[in-house]
Chain A
Amino acid sequence: MSEASNEARRRSVGFLLRFVALLVVFYFIVASRPVNDKVIVPFTAGIASVSGRLLNVLGEKAEVSGTEIRSSSFGVNIENGCNGVETGLLFGAAVLAFPARWSRRLIGLIVGFLAIQVLNLVRVITLFWIGLHRPALFSSSHTVIWQSVVVLFGVLLFLLWASRERRLSEAPSTTVGDRPRKG
């Protein structure tokens, strides 16, 4: 195996190890009771509130209580695993594990987390509508289809960000000071 190939393999495995380590650290932070009670549950209640308002705008009479969205004939409780935080953890661990400047990581994290949350809102609203009007499809839509779509979206966002980062890192000017100036 060539030197370059070994180096590439080392970078790839290094990324994977950092990713897994960060994911475990993030999990313990998010699963700890204080963070869960003071951050995750209120955040999830916020998702339920926004989803409830959007459902009402769309003509569905939905009431929100904490993390629950209910109508006269159907109700859902948004739990961990359905609030987009899990995909956010995955995305965050991947972005932080990938070699890049901190400023670009920060921008990637903010934009990525917002994009994931927008898609997750669509997921919650869609699932509520399916539960209300097509209850037979709710279980498979919830467990398999939407979960896969949201996680896949998070992974693709990371790959887009990472390929852009790699392009920037491989650009001819290797330092900020070397960048050409206009005029």
Chain B
Amino acid sequence: MTGADRRRERLPAPGPATPRLDARAALRGLVGFLLALAFWFGFSRAYESTIAAGAELVSNVFESPDVTRLDAKGGEILLDRRDFPPGSARPGLSGPDIHFNFVLLAALFALDRRPLRSAHVARFLAAAAALWIIHVVALVFQIHSVYATSLGAWSLANYGKVARNFWAAGWHFYLIAGRFAAPFALWWFFGRREEDLSPERSPIRKKKRKS
């Protein structure tokens, strides 16, 4: 083997296609971000009520008797158990910490060359629905994290060590990594289409080759 052969190093296969980030894409992303921000400020309270209802439903399915009640008020989701002593404080869970990442999802979808074409909007709605499910699951984890770690002797009596760690770590994962990664992962799965992004496969390029 010659020295040149030894230096010869195969490059990895090309990775998945990514959208072209030029000035226009940046402008679309900025406009998408601002519109999503305005939408979020306008509708986050209503949205919070829907994820509170979803999380209450999921929690109740696994409770007997069903005691968890959630009440979304002014950016906070009040956690109320029917068996809490009357007059005791109700923990308030921050709503925006869970669902602000909708803004990220919308901004990423806005990067597309034609963000308003119906197929792209449909994919955005599918991703937003998936994000809603993630928000409900995250809220369920937060509720159980409070039950398992914040209610003193009651927590110790009702949650074992493994269960405490499971619920607390699940909620912590969402706070540290999940809420930031979820919009990116959903956009990657729903919003990107290789055939739209790969120049070598675009119909325009094929036509040019034929001529």
Take A143-B96, A175-B8 as given contacts and tell me if A16 and B188 are in contact as well, using a CB distance cutoff of 8 Å. yes
Interface of B is mostly: helix
**What's the dominant secondary structure at chain A's contact region?**
helix
Give the residue name and chain of the B residue nearest to A163 (CB): B18
Contact A152:B181 (CB < 8 A) given known A15-B16, A15-B188, A166-B15: no
Contacts of B104 in A (CB 8 A): 148, 151-152, 155
A31-B172, A148-B107 given; A176·B100 CB < 8 A: no
Answer yes or no: A160 CB below 8 A from chain B CBs: yes
Report the stretch among A55-63, A85-93, A106-114, A119-127 that lies at the interface: A85-93
Chain B residues within 8 Å of A147, by CB: 100, 180
A-contacting 9-mer, from B124-132, B148-156, B192-200? B192-200
A69 at the interface (CB under 8 A from B): no
In the complex with contacts A4-B201, A90-B181, A11-B15 CB distance below 8 A:
yes
Task: Write the A159-178 contact mask toward B (1 if CB under 8 angstroms, else 0).
Answer: 11011011011100011110
Interface residues of A, Cβ cutoff 8 Å to B: 4-5, 8-9, 11-13, 15-16, 19-20, 23-24, 26-27, 30-31, 80-81, 86-87, 89-90, 93-94, 98-101, 139-140, 143-145, 147-148, 151-152, 154-156, 159-160, 162-163, 165-166, 168-170, 174-177
B residues adjacent to A (C-beta < 8 A): 4-5, 7-21, 29, 33, 37, 40-41, 94, 96-97, 100-101, 103-104, 107-108, 169, 172-173, 175-177, 180-181, 184-185, 188-189, 192, 194-195, 198, 200-201
